[in-house]
Structure 1
């Protein structure tokens, strides 16, 4: 990922800028291109943004004019626009005027069809949340789907890689008007962003999240159903009763057996196979959200649960159904495995099965 802002990308950025800005040399940018190692991607964007501002040697108006002119070059696209957006926002905030603030928002919308400005926009949201949200809501009717996605993605409470916006975390409902405008958007990319945004909101306000999903579910069609289902996924994994009810999962008597393991030992890299039986003891049909929980051993020997999706099933009264799953174990940058006694459970509409223990060997 770091090489997305590597020497060749910086060379393209210099070429694009030189052709549009009547400024043939960009010495600070060239020098920064030689100092990218061993920086991670975000740090590279910051380094290049600083170099851009040094080479531009002017205020926000000059930078905005240069960047808009450079949009005429088709090569001015992709990850090289991350430092461009960061430089523009920094200069707008240094300017301090509302005119520069508003124009920076507009510029980020212009850049976004080439590369999303979802990271750069965060500092404008921090500076003046209400003013920024007023402008951003207008993007929900923009003809370009990338700009409409920016309205949702750029305002997410927990956007990956991005700085937090304290005002959004403190006021989860502040972005709901934007989501209300977009949850039925014709673009799947936009709808996926809305669902992820709603899922973010559930971390702080489960009741508001479920109430919003309830409103959306009343809209007919597959779009609303998919967005609400995906937006409530974390609450479903947490067995939130209101989220389960909203998605039509039964509250009746559903029994789930302890997982039956194929092996009692897993050696990395390897996999654990298991089977489980689900029974509907109610007199009515039951719709069941079936998940499984792996209790991983941590470095200190304690256990940390992680929930995974298994299936969604509709069972007739008295029906018994068997499900099988294989779960992989391998070392990853996002999950380090430790040797020790692990366990797995299955969760059916919030009802947890007994544990089934197994050993992991490295």
Structure 2
């Protein structure tokens, strides 16, 4: 598989330089490309984007408004959306017509560096990000504005919640997430998420699934620090909810359901544990890194009424220091009939991922039914 970092490469640099020169004939394309491409292959993904941003700082106009105008004039047309409001893949014709894709991570970084200096710069920078986010995303760049100019930024997001572009409406939610992966943590919103709640309320029934998914992830972020707030949100907004909102609230609740958070489970009618028994068997006692292992969960109801169940499983991964840490994986959502026996099968991948290193040793797996651990088994992972 091609390394993710190669999404920013020498072709990215050359294309960016060409479109900036088209937008501003005085642009020093050679200087930009020399600085942006030097040693690029030796850098990791974020470092590549930051090096491009450094080159933009060195070559775009000193006047911030002129720099923003140059960037805006160099952009490709906005990314098209499909019938569900999801962004479509970047086409060759669009890439030829202007800057789009991962190069705009660097452009957003440039705007953030220059734009947070004062309120006048911030207002111009936010307007530029409004254009950038329609071709890629400005969710990383806008966080510096929210941190340094919270009043102006949140007022602007409040205006954008009604923007005709789904890309911009998504930025309202995604850019203000308290704990956005890869992004600057917005510690003030981690402590008090109330400033963004009116934005989420306005967007949770958005016609675009792209926007709604961001709202769900934003609420899931809030749940890590304010679980009772999100449980109350789910309880309030689940009443009379259309299918799309119910799906959003379910996605927003995923971490709390996995954790067995009682108020959230109650909001979904999952407050009671399994009436009956659960057993877990594994397909092997040993498995290798890169392979997989099979799980078989057997449920037996002793209830006289059907039971609504969420069955997940936690893998206690061995850590480098010899300890272990659990990671919960989604399993099944089901209705178990009165006195019914049900068998559930799943294959669990043991391939390493960028966010988790797999170490040899004994790994425990627990079955969680409505957040309660009811059965476990173990296997030995070998290198």
TM-score higher than 0.5: yes
Give the gaps of 5 or more residues in structure 1. Answer: none
Q: How much has 1:208 moved relative to structure 2?
A: 0.8
CA-based RMSD of the aligned residues comes to 1.8
Structure 2 residue 108 is matched with structure 1 residue 85: yes
* Corresponding position of 2:332: 311
- Could you say what secondary structure the match of 2:161 adopts? helix
Within 2, Cα distance between the matches of 1:121 and 1:335? Answer: 28
Q: Which shows bigger deviation, 112-121 or 216-225?
A: 216-225
Task: Return the match for 2:52 from 38, 45, 48.
Answer: 48
Structure 1 pair 51/269, CA: closer, same or farther in 2 (3 Å)?
closer
Within 2, Cα distance between the matches of 1:357 and 1:53? Answer: 54
Give yes or no for contact 1:261–1:274 (8 Å, CA) kept in 2: yes
* Corresponding position of 1:345: 366
Task: Return the match for 1:66 from 70, 89, 96.
Answer: 70
Q: Which shows bigger deviation, 85-94 or 102-111?
A: 85-94
* Corresponding position of 2:17: 14
Within 1, Cα distance between the matches of 2:367 and 2:36? Answer: 51
1:86-105 equivalence runs, <5 A:
86-94=109-117, 96=118, 98-105=119-126
Give yes or no for contact 1:49–1:86 (8 Å, CA) kept in 2: yes
Within 2, Cα distance between the matches of 1:72 and 1:320? Answer: 57
Task: Return the match for 1:37 from 36, 41, 44.
Answer: 41
Q: How much has 1:189 moved relative to structure 2?
A: 0.7
Structure 1 pair 271/165, CA: closer, same or farther in 2 (3 Å)?
same
Within 2, Cα distance between the matches of 1:244 and 1:127? Answer: 38
Structure 1 pair 269/25, CA: closer, same or farther in 2 (3 Å)?
closer
Q: Which shows bigger deviation, 273-282 or 109-118?
A: 273-282
Give yes or no for contact 2:122–2:149 (8 Å, CA) kept in 1: no
Within 2, Cα distance between the matches of 1:324 and 1:76? Answer: 47
Q: How much has 1:354 moved relative to structure 2?
A: 3.2
Give the gaps of 5 or more residues in structure 2. Answer: 78-96
- Runs of 4+ in structure 1 off by over 4 angstroms are none
Structure 1 pair 190/5, CA: closer, same or farther in 2 (3 Å)?
same
Structure 1 pair 161/72, CA: closer, same or farther in 2 (3 Å)?
closer
Q: How much has 1:320 moved relative to structure 2?
A: 2.1
Q: Which shows bigger deviation, 319-328 or 20-29?
A: 20-29
Give yes or no for contact 1:295–1:343 (8 Å, CA) kept in 2: yes
Within 2, Cα distance between the matches of 1:305 and 1:4? Answer: 32
- Could you say what secondary structure the match of 2:375 adopts? coil
Q: How much has 1:68 moved relative to structure 2?
A: 2.5
Report the TM-score when normalising by structure 1.
0.94
- Could you say what secondary structure the match of 2:317 adopts? strand
Give yes or no for contact 2:256–2:264 (8 Å, CA) kept in 1: yes
Structure 1 pair 310/28, CA: closer, same or farther in 2 (3 Å)?
same
- Could you say what secondary structure the match of 1:304 adopts? strand
Q: How much has 1:253 moved relative to structure 2?
A: 4.3
Within 2, Cα distance between the matches of 1:26 and 1:274? Answer: 57
Report the TM-score when normalising by structure 2.
0.89
Q: Which shows bigger deviation, 113-122 or 76-85?
A: 76-85
* Corresponding position of 1:134: 155
Give yes or no for contact 2:220–2:252 (8 Å, CA) kept in 1: yes
Count of residue pairs the alignment pairs up:
360
Structure 2 residue 354 is matched with structure 1 residue 323: no
* Corresponding position of 2:92: none
- Could you say what secondary structure the match of 1:78 adopts? coil
Give yes or no for contact 1:232–1:243 (8 Å, CA) kept in 2: yes
Structure 2 residue 338 is matched with structure 1 residue 335: no
Within 1, Cα distance between the matches of 2:283 and 2:60? Answer: 64
* Corresponding position of 1:112: 133
Q: How much has 1:41 moved relative to structure 2?
A: 2.1
Q: How much has 1:201 moved relative to structure 2?
A: 0.7
Q: How much has 1:24 moved relative to structure 2?
A: 4.6
Structure 1 pair 201/16, CA: closer, same or farther in 2 (3 Å)?
same
Structure 1 pair 259/51, CA: closer, same or farther in 2 (3 Å)?
same
Within 2, Cα distance between the matches of 1:247 and 1:72? Answer: 44
Give yes or no for contact 1:249–1:349 (8 Å, CA) kept in 2: yes
Within 1, Cα distance between the matches of 2:60 and 2:221? Answer: 38
Within 2, Cα distance between the matches of 1:350 and 1:88? Answer: 44
Q: Which shows bigger deviation, 55-64 or 178-187?
A: 55-64
Task: Return the match for 1:240 from 261, 264, 267.
Answer: 261
Structure 1 pair 54/301, CA: closer, same or farther in 2 (3 Å)?
same
